[in-house]
Chain A
Amino acid sequence: MRVERRITLNADRDTVWTVLKDPDDYPSLLPHLQRWEPVTEDPPGVGSRYTVLWEVGGIPVGGVIEVVEFDTARDLAWISITGVTQRGHFRLRDAGPGRTTVNFRLAYHSDGGLLGLIADRIAARQVGRSLSQSLRNLQRLVES
């Protein structure tokens, strides 16, 4: 299951990147986060790991993730190491002078066969709302 939301911000990519480049600040950005703790001590970059749990349906869902793309002012992506299989991606692209389009994608997959597929499908609505809220939070942070 892949869920994607997009927003165009009145800020250039470097400004947006100053918010997104530090995953330590994500608790103020991502809604429904129940836990976000760094596992590695190095500055954020490829290989940084975090324990991340979202509250989905009243139950914490997540695990350890690792940053796999850290391309300044362009892309930041992570994959899961434990827990529900997932890949998250912030994609920044120019949208005209002083404007940036941000795509926030979350692809995830639960084990468990048919029940996993049903759970993924049902969770998609809440995941979509969370992504939209995240982008609105990002907008508030970069345009204020």
Chain B
Amino acid sequence: MTGVSDILDWARQKLAAQVPKADLDQRDPDYIRDQLPGLWLLASLYFRADVRGLDRIPADGPVLLVGNHSGGNVPPDTFVFTLAFCSYFGVERPFYQLVHNLVALYPALRWLPKFGTVAASPDNARLALESGAAVLVYPGGDYEVYRPSWQRHVVDFGGRKGFVRLARETAVPIVPVASVGGQETALFLGRGQVLARLLMLDKLFRLKSLPISVALPWGLNVTDWLGHIPLPAKIVIEVQEPIEATDDDQAVYDEVIASLQAGVDRLAAQRHFPVIG
């Protein structure tokens, strides 16, 4: 007799089959170049973005950029950093961003691959790194991005260490990217992990959260699946010193977390008010 777990396995396999394997050729530098002015306007005027330390990123070759993630389903840190990276190194330098599988499948975001956005999977990341590209990953993903707003300056990957193994196996440096401000774009009340487990979303969709927030234009916002209008919080991003991936994954993981937390603490100490910055 077919059990619930069989049905879940079947549903998971069907969903996984929908997740596209990265086609690196979909990245289109001309398209990115066309979009940069609009992104610059949004970043400069709305989010008053301030990006520092880009010179710490190796000038060429593959690199794994590891960031702390904030802002629910509308994370401004991703697009601000993508804009800054493409402006600093030029759209010609291959640069890919890993996103949650559901984001990669979302019909309204089918233009993302032109920016170099690919579904987050070890295979896709390896493919991009082995092609010599820079890759941006947010290991905390859907877990970190929905943390309560009062924990906005806490870096929490939920113990996800896959990025360390990836860096070690591909022999690329890890460059931590610390950011603050994203978790002030709405009032995030909690992850709703218990609710996600009860609804079996973690097994079906790899969603470990069913977040609850107060956000525009919805008011009380459950799931954030339709996104929200982010408050114009000042976004500050600081690139940290590169870290070499040695054989001790736990030590490297701890070093990355410590580097990011120190960066976030430093940036947070310079903030006077939420949202305003």
Contacts and interface: CB of A to CB of B under 8 A. Distances in A.
Given A60-B51, A60-B54, A82-B92, A118 B41 contact: yes
A112 to B, nearest CB: 4
Nearest to A61: B87
A100 to B, nearest CB: 35
Interface residues of A, number: 24
Contact of A122 (B36, B45, B55, B80): B45
A111 B49 contact: no
Interface string B15-52: 00000000000000000011111101101110011110
A83 B83 contact: no
Interface string A123-142: 00000000000000000000
A119 interface: yes
A56 B41 CA distance: 11
Nearest to B234: A58
B84 interface: yes
Interface in B72-124: 80, 83-84, 87-88, 90, 92
B50 A58 contact: yes
Given A58-B51, A60-B84, A112 B36 contact: yes
Interface in A91-144: 110-113, 115-116, 118-120, 122
A99 to B, nearest CB: 39
Given A35-B55, A83-B90, A122-B45, A59 B84 contact: yes
Nearest to A37: B59
B101 to A, nearest CB: 30
Contact of B33 (A57, A64, A111, A118): A111
B43 A57 contact: yes
Given A59-B40, A63-B90, A112-B36, 14 more contacts: A35-B88, A53-B88, A56-B40, A57-B45, A59-B43, A59-B49, A59-B80, A59-B83, A59-B84, A60-B87, A83-B90, A111-B37, A118-B41, A122-B41
13 contacts: A57-B45, A58-B44, A58-B49, A59-B80, A59-B83, A59-B84, A60-B87, A60-B88, A64-B90, A111-B33, A112-B33, A112-B35, A115-B38
Interface of A: 34-35, 53, 56-64, 82-83, 110-113, 115-116, 118-120, 122
